[in-house]
Amino acid sequence: MNSNTVRVGLIGLGGVCSAVHYPGFSRIPDVEIVGLCDPDADLLAKRQSEWGIDTGYTDARRFFQEVKPDAVAIAVPNIHHRKLVLRAIETGCHVLCEKPLGMTVPETVEMYDAARAADVRHMTAFTYRFVPGITYIKSLVDSGALGDIRHARFQRLQDWGETSIGWRQYKEMAGTGELGDMGIHRLDFAEDLLGPIRSVCSAMKRLVPRDHTKDGVACEPQDVEDWVAWISEFESGTTGVFEMGKLTKGRGPDGGHDVCEINGSEASVVYQLHTPQAILIAPQGEPYTKRTVPDEFLKRPGSPRDPAEGDPVATFRYDQAWEFVSAIREGRDCMPSFYHGMRSQVVADSIVEAATTRRWVNVPQWTKSKK
């Protein structure tokens, strides 16, 4: 171990840890994955054997006390984010936490304030910020190449089937359904691209009960939305139209639709997740043509990832771990941080309020001054 070594613990070893966090951290030089934690003993044993990591705990308190990691990545159902994040911060640990950062705005404020008070690095896993196409589009927006941004649209349409989707389908575990699952990523990158959202109107629908599993076993029906849509007015005057759905026939596992289109006074651009290393671009009066993302945007500076290696739809996600570790080593804020987790929760709560009251809602702007 040298002085540059960062000792990382992984908490919650399910889908996203295996697809994103483990491959991300395990390829960074001088990062040691020092321990795993998950209450599911079978899964813990499986991951320890797959990843060759001797140290494993089913109890988070013992994990922190005995492993004493420098940093953790927390990837557990949303209801558990707050207590694990606060425990990590108490022990002086840097924290990467999955999205949505918390169940409510006050939870996210508490986590953000605690992290700042303890002077630890804090990061929200808004993974789509690391898509090469999004990074390139941000540079085009920021440089003024698209002119004034007039309107934009954001769509995430998938088909997860009609049966149970586990903890994600219960308010008490997840907070919200499609809004907190897919919508919150788009809220975050929309504000990153276009600035703060001023007001929203919205609709949310629970389309099916999901009251049995794939194997036909009965379960409690879901109480969250499968579909959500909203219109946003940004402070800049830009308008954004958003739609997310988990039950969009034709958009099954391989046909998932994830698009962001930005229409400026000089040009329009489109990001599509299935081609993350290219965008579509159309100057005024011309149709869209494909443009390959320039090399400088294919990965974060210094990232050990080879952009030519593996499936580009999966591998851009590994740069999230690189950003977290780089911020720890450089003693700077992570981007995106808990601030962005808190801020997107403020907008998400306004979307719920607008759907419930069936009216336009002004997004509270107080979080801007807390940055």
Q: Which is nearer to ligand NAD, 15 or 52 (CB)?
A: 15
Residue nearest to ligand NAD (CB): 14
The window from 7-15, 200-208, 235-243, 293-301 that contacts ligand NAD (CB under 6 A) reads 7-15
By CB under 6 A, is residue 270 in contact with ligand NAD?
no
User: How far apart (Å, rounded) are the C-alpha atoms in residues 270 and 281?
Assistant: 7
Q: Which is nearer to ligand NAD, 39 or 147 (CB)?
A: 39
By CB under 6 A, is residue 325 in contact with ligand NAD?
no
What is the per-residue binding string for ligand NAD in 17-56, x denoting contact by CB under 6 A?
x-------------------xxxx--x-------------
> What residues numbered 224-253 form the site for ligand NAD, per CB under 6 A?
none
Closest CA to 172 of 60, 37, 80: 80
User: How far apart (Å, rounded) are the C-alpha atoms in residues 106 and 102?
Assistant: 8
Q: What does the block give as tokens for 162?
A: 């009609």
By CB under 6 A, is residue 96 in contact with ligand NAD?
no
Q: Which is nearer to ligand NAD, 135 or 263 (CB)?
A: 135
By CB under 6 A, is residue 6 in contact with ligand NAD?
no
Q: Which is nearer to ligand NAD, 39 or 283 (CB)?
A: 39
DSSP 47-88: HHHHHT---EES-HHHHHHHH--SEEEE-S-GGGHHHHHHHH
Write the CA distances from 316 to 275, 280, 304, 313, integer angstroms.
12, 19, 11, 7
The DSSP H or E segment spanning 247 is none
By CB under 6 A, is residue 221 in contact with ligand NAD?
no
Binding residues for ligand NAD, rule: CB under 6 A, are: 11-17, 37-40, 43, 60, 75-78, 80, 98-99, 125, 127, 166, 181
